[in-house]
């Protein structure tokens, strides 16, 4: 189970006809209460899709009763007509569920620059709301159907759950396989909890969780226009909730979803964790890890099973982080290939045939650390993204 694991939520995923594949392409997650508190974070791209512009207004008061998501079109750079489509989609959900349109988040994903078919969207909302009213809309099958409906180039749905000893639950679903880079990575994520938390508490927990998970997923260095991570609380489990404990559980759900996004990245053959240790500051550690993750030379080398640690150091040296360039250590999959800026163990000892690859960079400049998740650069990635719109 994912978004329906927490009490007080129902979900549905249906075929609206927005995708030519005939697969599910519209989902609704409804918060049944008694609370309707919420928080959300969005792409930091200045070029934002219409659903993001709408949802930024909706979340301002911290109240959300439902979220509607579609694949099959991003509804971005579609002008006033596109924003009206978003507005009318929210209005249709509100009418069907007898809630306010101002309490409906809207998310879209797919190709930029194409208008969505409003009639298909409305018909899909009708079918989804009928499904919400049926038995089983709060069960695992309903959660899975919703997770499938938001997929684009994803190979499989992404779901995660954490249950606390106190009895409250955090569940989540995500989509994303390409354009994975901060802010947030190219994703739609819905997180739910039955803990009785208000919107300020949810916002604090969500920003702490995304900062060390989704914001450190950097698969291909490309930032989306539609990224949305929403957290909804029903308060259906009326038990005292420690905010630190909740934040830790939420972070684990986000980490699991981020790792699933990484593992499903378009065409990837290696999942790479770039761990930077002993940095002067956490920001320095993030900057160094991100620079390596965005080096096409490094990513191509990993694809070719070539432990070319010189490409790691070359990327590290482009940052403004504080370190001595000739005191850096680098290990790849446990082999210390560079020690204090000089050759260490023979690179031939590094085994890069497994899918998992770990790069450890020791800056010897402080005590801060950070890990960036990325993937290799493959022929399949180039092929898939050369034909995305065809």
Active site residues: 186
Tell the residue number behind the tokens 């290939």, with chain if given: 337
Beta bridge partners of 338: 330, 343
Q: What is the dihedral of CA 46, 218, 265, 53, to 10 degrees?
A: -20
Ramachandran angles phi, psi of 353, nearest 5°: -75, -30
Residue 208, classified by CB atoms within 10 Å of its CB into exposed (0-12), middle (13-18) or buried (19+), is middle
The CA distance from 33 to 333, in Å, is 47
Separation CA 337–CA 314 (nearest Å): 15
Count other Cβ atoms within 10 Å, centred on residue 146.
Answer: 31
In the β-sheet with 188-193, what is the strand arrangement from edge to edge? Answer: 37-42, 228-233, 188-193, 169-175, 158-163
The answer to whether 307 touches 350, Cβ cutoff 8 Å, is yes
């Amino acid at each position: 189970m994912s978004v329906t694991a927490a009490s007080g939520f129902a979900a549905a995923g249906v075929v609206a006809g927005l995708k030519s594949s005939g697969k599910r392409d519209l989902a609704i997650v409804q918060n049944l209460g008694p609370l309707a508190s919420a928080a959300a974070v969005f792409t930091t791209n200045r070029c934002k899709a219409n659903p993001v512009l709408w949802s930024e207004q909706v979340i301002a008061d911290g109240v959300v009763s439902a979220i509607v998501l579609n694949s099959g079109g991003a509804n971005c750079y579609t002008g006033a007509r596109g924003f009206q489509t978003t507005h009318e989609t929210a209005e249709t959900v509100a009418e069907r569920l007898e809630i306010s349109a101002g309490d409906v988040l809207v998310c879209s994903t797919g190709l930029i620059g194409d208008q969505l078919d409003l009639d298909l969207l409305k018909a899909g909302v009708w079918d989804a709301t009928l499904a919400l009213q049926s038995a089983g809309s709060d069960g695992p099958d309903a959660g899975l159907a919703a997770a499938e409906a938001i997929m684009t180039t994803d190979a499989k749905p992404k779901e995660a759950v954490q249950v606390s000893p106190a009895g409250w639950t955090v569940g989540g679903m995500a989509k994303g396989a390409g354009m994975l880079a901060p802010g947030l990575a190219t994703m739609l994520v819905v997180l739910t909890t039955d803990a009785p938390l208000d919107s300020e508490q949810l916002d604090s927990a969500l920003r702490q969780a995304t900062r060390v998970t989704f914001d450190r997923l950097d698969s291909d260095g490309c930032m989306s226009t539609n990224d949305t991570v929403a957290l909804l609380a029903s308060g259906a489990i009326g038990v005292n909730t420690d905010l630190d404990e909740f934040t830790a559980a939420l972070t684990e759900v986000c980490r699991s979803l981020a790792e699933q996004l990484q593992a499903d990245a378009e065409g990837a053959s290696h999942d790479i964790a770039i761990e930077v240790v002993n940095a002067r500051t956490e920001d320095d550690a993030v900057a160094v890890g991100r620079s390596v993750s965005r080096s096409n030379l490094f990513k191509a080398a990993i694809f070719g099973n070539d432990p070319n640690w010189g490409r790691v150091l070359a990327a590290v040296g482009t940052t403004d982080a504080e370190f001595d360039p000739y005191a850096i250590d680098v290990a790849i999959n446990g082999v210390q290939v560079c020690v204090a800026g000089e050759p260490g163990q023979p690179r031939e000892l590094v085994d890069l045939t497994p899918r998992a690859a770990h790069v450890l960079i020791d800056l010897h400049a402080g005590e801060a650390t950070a890990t960036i998740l990325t993937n290799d650069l493959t022929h399949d990635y180039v092929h898939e993204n050369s034909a995305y719109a065809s």
